[in-house]
Chain A
Amino acid sequence: MTQHAEPAVTSPPAPGLKDTDGRSAERSMIVRLLARPDVGVFLGAVAVYVFFLIAAPPVRDASSMANILYQSSTLGIVTVPVALLMIGGEFDLSAGVGVITSALTASMTAYQLSMNVWVGVIAALIASLAIGFFNGWMVVKTGLPSFLVTLGSFLILQGVNLAVTKLVTGNVATDDISTMDGFDQAKKVFASSFDIGGVQVKITVFWWLLFAAIATWVLLRTKYGNWIFAVGGNRESARAVGVPVAFTKISLFMLVGVGAWFVGMHQLFSFNTVQSGEGVGIELIYISGAVIGGCLLTGGAGSAIGPVFGAFMFGMVQQGIVYAGWNPDWFKAFLGVMLLGAVLINLWVQRTATRR
């Protein structure tokens, strides 16, 4: 038996341009659309909206709608970066109390130092970025799950919020800053309203939609967006092909800090004071909003537009229950049912639609 032949395998002929491998049948447009998680949550949001249109007649008012959108926006502004972070494969449990930390920092810095409120606003931004950096740095450097790291910072911030506020002001709330320099200006940016066709719409609604639009563009059309998917989808592979994993993850945590800062500023300039014990439990609403919005809890898939509908569903339910005249205690129960329902529907739709 001799095999002194030339190598047996030759290179394949280059196929023509029109050829396909012919193994995947074209799936219909509807099935393909349904396979997109953000379409699923959009339909869910429509369903909840229609439900309350019928169950709660006051919802039909334009002003109620503005109110619902406002409620959604205060959740949604943080949900957007939380969703990006989740696509990047991490969570942040400290985002809820981070909002309050930010507001407290701004308020106390400005009041105690008797400075222009913008000094406080900048100080708060720095504090929020620092918290984000700390979370991200710990996660990247130690390799610990972000659940543990941010659970730690959640507890730390919760304690610090209360203790430092009491230490500085002798009270659980901060002092009223509404008469300080720059307050009106800052209020215009963070907490003003617009008149649209006789309906007062809060500025946060516009910020929310703007942030979501920017996030969508970044996610789908930039290098950085590509990296977010990559570090969430397979961290080791991303590193092997030259994606700066540490930079991507840390900056995502810092973006959540920016979201928390923005909502913190909104709360400060709408209510003039901050209650230091608030914000606990809100982080889970952000995370639920991102999950309902079709972001994969384990990272690597999702969108920035889905969480917009996720936050809208929450705002809708929260206000809808009030308009329907039900006991608001039902809110959380409703949320839980919605979360499970949305996740199950997403799962079912994806399994049916992506099956070949």
Chain B
Amino acid sequence: MTTNETGTHGAVLADRAPEKDSPVVELRNAGKAYGNIRALHGVSLTVHPGQVTCVLGDNGAGKSTLIKIISGLHQHTEGEFLVDGEPVRFSTPREALDKGIATVYQDLAVVPLMPVWRNFFLGSEMTKGPWPLRRLDIERMKKTADHELREMGIVLDDLEQPIGTLSGGQRQCVAIARAVYFGARVLILDEPTAALGVKQSGVVLKYVAAARDRGLGVIFITHNPHHAYMVGDHFSVLRLGTMELSAERSQITLEELTNHMAGGAELAALKHELSQVRGVDVEELPEEADLTAPVAVTKEAAS
């Protein structure tokens, strides 16, 4: 086999410059109260096409509430929520979907025993023929599913295999590819790496990057700062329902992000406690001064 071609395998991605100026989704001082409990308060967030916005936070920090507002499961009770610059208020996930905001949940919404291609098109099947004989266009669906998955860099031997036989990471990727295919402009990923091993997390992160390179705005919810830092362009840390940090990639290091994520001053207190316990090495933990170093603290934190 002798060819003079250069060794580029596969397609060359289109060299498009993402329009970073106009955000697709924007929250301005948005908040949500359940009765008299303020779950979320004063959160500002922008999602640009072709960028990954990471939302970090510990359990109970308000991450779920935030994605529920954006995906249309709940409505915000304060502030503004804009899509393409227009204020919106979704009452069902379907409305968010129609605006191109798709959510990939942790449990993925797949049917394990069904083949990959049937899962890919479930609920939006392609059909052909007049009514009494209207039938699935299996050829077209398989071809489309295969094409879309390859576009995202996912290669499967057999689209007929039940999706349950795929690894957790692969299933995430199929779910992402499905959302991309069905016209998502903004992809919300709810802790996509939470239940995965190191390698599989890497696979998922690659597809997050692939979605980004296809011009989607990605909201990446996680509590792992390392994963966030690998793909993120912008980082927002939530704590107790408010924004503790909102920083561009150029403004922050992984170390600072990790410290913020871990809860800064609280960690220092924990260090003090742990130092009372024999056998716990606290030498390597950062000093209190490092932990409380203010990094691009937003105005909202003061309120």
- B74 interface residue (CB < 8 Å to A): no
- B108 interface residue (CB < 8 Å to A): yes
- Partner of B108 from A8, A21, A226, A237 at Cβ < 8 Å: A237
Q: How many residues on B have C-beta within 8 angstroms of the other chain's C-beta atoms? A: 54
Contacts of B153 in A (CB 8 A): 11-15
**A7 CA to B233 CA, complexed, in Å:** 7
Distance (Å) between the CB of A14 and the closest chain B CB?
4
In the complex, are the beta carbons of A223 and B229 less than 8 A apart? no
- Dominant secondary structure at the A interface: loop
- A63 interface residue (CB < 8 Å to B): no
Q: How many residues on A have C-beta within 8 angstroms of the other chain's C-beta atoms? A: 41
- Partner of B136 from A3, A223, A241 at Cβ < 8 Å: A223
- B127 interface residue (CB < 8 Å to A): yes
- A143 interface residue (CB < 8 Å to B): no
With A230-B111, A233-B112, A241-B123 already in contact, the answer to whether A3 and B254 are too (CB < 8 A) is yes
In the complex, are the beta carbons of A2 and B253 less than 8 A apart? yes
In the complex, are the beta carbons of A12 and B229 less than 8 A apart? no
Residue from B110, B134, B208, B253 having most chain A Cβ neighbours under 10 A: B110
In the complex, are the beta carbons of B118 and A226 less than 8 A apart? yes
Contacts of B111 in A (CB 8 A): 229-230, 233-234, 237-238, 300
Contacts of B205 in A (CB 8 A): 9
For A24, the closest partner residue in chain B by CB is B157
Distance (Å) between the CB of A306 and the closest chain B CB?
15
- A141 interface residue (CB < 8 Å to B): no
- Partner of A4 from B118, B161, B249 at Cβ < 8 Å: B249
For A242, the closest partner residue in chain B by CB is B123
**A163 CA to B230 CA, complexed, in Å:** 73
With A1-B255, A300-B113 already in contact, the answer to whether A240 and B105 are too (CB < 8 A) is yes
- A104 interface residue (CB < 8 Å to B): no
Distance (Å) between the CB of B153 and the closest chain A CB?
4
In the complex, are the beta carbons of B150 and A14 less than 8 A apart? yes
- Partner of A16 from B9, B123, B124 at Cβ < 8 Å: B9
Interface-forming stretch among B37-45, B61-69, B209-217, B292-300? B209-217
- Partner of A229 from B118, B208, B209 at Cβ < 8 Å: B118
- Partner of B109 from A8, A12, A222, A240 at Cβ < 8 Å: A240
- B52 interface residue (CB < 8 Å to A): yes
Using a CB-CB cutoff of 8 Å, which residues 60-119 of chain B contact chain A? 94, 105, 107-114, 118
- B58 interface residue (CB < 8 Å to A): no
Using a CB-CB cutoff of 8 Å, which residues 296-315 of chain A contact chain B? 296, 300-301
- B271 interface residue (CB < 8 Å to A): no
With A1-B255, A17-B150, A221-B135 already in contact, the answer to whether A243 and B122 are too (CB < 8 A) is yes
- B250 interface residue (CB < 8 Å to A): yes
In the complex, are the beta carbons of A226 and B206 less than 8 A apart? no
Contacts of A23 in B (CB 8 A): 157
- B266 interface residue (CB < 8 Å to A): no
**A182 CA to B151 CA, complexed, in Å:** 63
- A329 interface residue (CB < 8 Å to B): no
Known A15-B9, A242-B94; 7 more pairs at CB < 8 Å: A15-B155, A217-B135, A223-B125, A225-B136, A226-B121, A241-B122, A296-B113
Q: Which residues of B contact A (CB under 8 A)?
A: 8-11, 13, 52, 94, 105, 107-114, 118, 121-125, 127, 134-136, 138, 150-151, 153, 155-158, 161, 202, 205-210, 212-213, 229-233, 249-250, 253-255
The 5 closest A-B pairs by CB, nearest first: A242-B123, A14-B10, A241-B123, A12-B153, A233-B111
Q: Which residues of A contact B (CB under 8 A)?
A: 1-4, 7-17, 19-24, 217, 221-223, 225-226, 229-230, 233-234, 236-238, 240-243, 296, 300-301
